[in-house]
Amino acid sequence: MTIASIDTTARVSPETVLSVVIPTYNERGNVAELIRRLDRTLTGVAWEAIFVDDNSPDGTADALKAISRSDPRVRCIRRVGRRGLAGACIEGILSSSAAYVAVMDADLQHDETVLPAMLAKLQSGQFDLVAATRYVDGGDASSFSASRGKISRLATKITQRVLGTELSDPMSGFFMMRRASFDEMAPRLSPVGFKILLDIATASEGLRITEQAYSFGERFDGESKFSMQVGLEFLGLLLSKLSNGLLDPRFIFFAIVGATGIAVNLLVLNLALIAWPLSFQFAKTIATGFAMTSNFILNNSLTYRDRRLKGLGLLRGFIGFCLFGAIGAFTDIGLANQLYAHHELWWVAGLAGSIVGVLWNYAMSSMFIWRTR
């Protein structure tokens, strides 16, 4: 059958106007209730829900597919071998063909009853993005624990200072936007981390932004996935934005991990020399081995968290990481020697060698070990 012969008049449901994208990880107990509430709130709107589940061990995807068999408005994209809130949102939005897309959490902390008001703001044609905010009159974040509330407010202040964003709640994961605006900026967004709204709001100039107050509720079921790591990823995103997008957040993590490797190397070298009367060469070999291993583990759980290697792949990755690392070290030393022979400025030669070494390791790790490109 050719495309032209499809009978479009046979379409039963009206064109979808709003896609609600919902990232999930272990949210089995929340999804049915969320769909019920969306259905109750979005009367008169042709909506659909696109869940993006990262292969949750609690069977969230199965629960969703059971629902979508009888409710065609509900769809579940199951991603395997990947993790990450921002990346999940990006893929969900990209799969939509509606005029407007919203992103919200699955745990019912984001008040779905403000969705119609957000949609009306976009449909007025005056705005490209509506950010739901806890930090204006009418908004509320009192359900946060005291410590989490403090972290959230501090991060908000830092972000506003550093990036000069006008968002009152840049850490929010609740917003709605014109899909056309998103499509245009999608290639520039980072799949790492939690802070997709901040990334979007700062990714393109001239985006017309407005806000919608809401009150942040209690989690309905299950547990939060917020962690130390999420905080670190956020720092990476900030630094990346500070460099005007020149440095990829992933590269920033790779470089930070590399710096911790130097510390590990020196520490182990020192311990090995004190503990046993080892030859320097032997002690240095052990220290480098330790540093390589800790670099690999940290990169696997932080820099490339969304593509984490496991089992046999982990072993294969480690061997490759060491081999590429050895080539990188040779390149570094070779280049530094060359430069030093010509110019005799030791630090320029040393620095140039190291930079090329780090870039090499990063490129090889991204291409062949964790395969992000």
**Where along the sequence are the contacts to ligand GDD (CB under 6 A)?**
23-25, 27, 52-54, 83-85, 88, 105-107, 109, 171-174, 194, 224-226
Buried b / exposed e along 20-49 (16+ C-beta atoms within 10 A): bbbbbbbbbebbeebbebbeeebeeeebbb
Chosen from Mn ion, ligand GDD, none, partner binding at 171 (C-beta under 5 to 8 Å by type): ligand GDD
Sign of the torsion angle spanned by Cα atoms 199, 205, 207, 208: positive
Cα angle, residue 200 at apex, residues 181 and 76 outer, rounded to 5°:
80
CB of 226 to Mn ion, least distance (A): 7
Nearer to ligand GDD (CB atom), residue 299 or residue 361: 299
Chosen from Mn ion, ligand GDD, none, partner binding at 332 (C-beta under 5 to 8 Å by type): none
Given the rule CB under 5 A, which of 4-12, 64-72, 89-97, 108-116 is the region that contacts Mn ion? 108-116
Nearer to Mn ion (CB atom), residue 107 or residue 332: 107
Hunting for tokens 């530094």 — which residue is that?
Answer: 336
CB of 183 to ligand GDD, least distance (A): 21
Joined tokens for residue 49 = 């829900």
What track of x and - describes contact with Mn ion for positions 61 through 100 (by CB under 5 A)?
----------------------------------------
Q: Contact at 8 Å (CB) between 202 and 165?
A: yes
CB of 224 to Mn ion, least distance (A): 5
- Using CB under 5 A as the binding rule, whether residue 265 contacts Mn ion is answered as no
Binding residue (CB under 5 A) for Mn ion from 24, 30, 109, 365: 109
Chosen from ligand GDD, Mn ion, none, partner binding at 365 (C-beta under 5 to 8 Å by type): none
Nearer to ligand GDD (CB atom), residue 174 or residue 370: 174
CB of 88 to ligand GDD, least distance (A): 3
- DSSP 3-state of 210: strand
Nearer to ligand GDD (CB atom), residue 106 or residue 130: 106
CB of 294 to ligand GDD, least distance (A): 24
Element (H, E) at 279: none
Chosen from Mn ion, ligand GDD, none, partner binding at 179 (C-beta under 5 to 8 Å by type): none
CB of 154 to ligand GDD, least distance (A): 13
Binding residues for Mn ion, total number by CB under 5 A: 3
Joined tokens for residue 265 = 């190397």
Cα separation, 83 vs 80, in Å, equals 8
Nearer to ligand GDD (CB atom), residue 82 or residue 284: 82
Cβ count within 10 A of residue 186: 14
Nearer to ligand GDD (CB atom), residue 24 or residue 212: 24
339 contacts: CB under 8 Å, gap ≥ 6: 345, 348, 349, 352, 353
Nearer to ligand GDD (CB atom), residue 171 or residue 335: 171
Nearer to Mn ion (CB atom), residue 105 or residue 332: 105
Beta strands per DSSP E along the chain: 18-24, 47-53, 74-78, 100-103, 129-133, 175-178, 209-213
Cα separation, 174 vs 212, in Å, equals 10
Residue ranges in 42-189 assigned as alpha helix (H): 60-70, 85-94, 115-123, 146-163, 179-185
Residues that bind Mn ion (CB under 5 A): 105, 107, 109
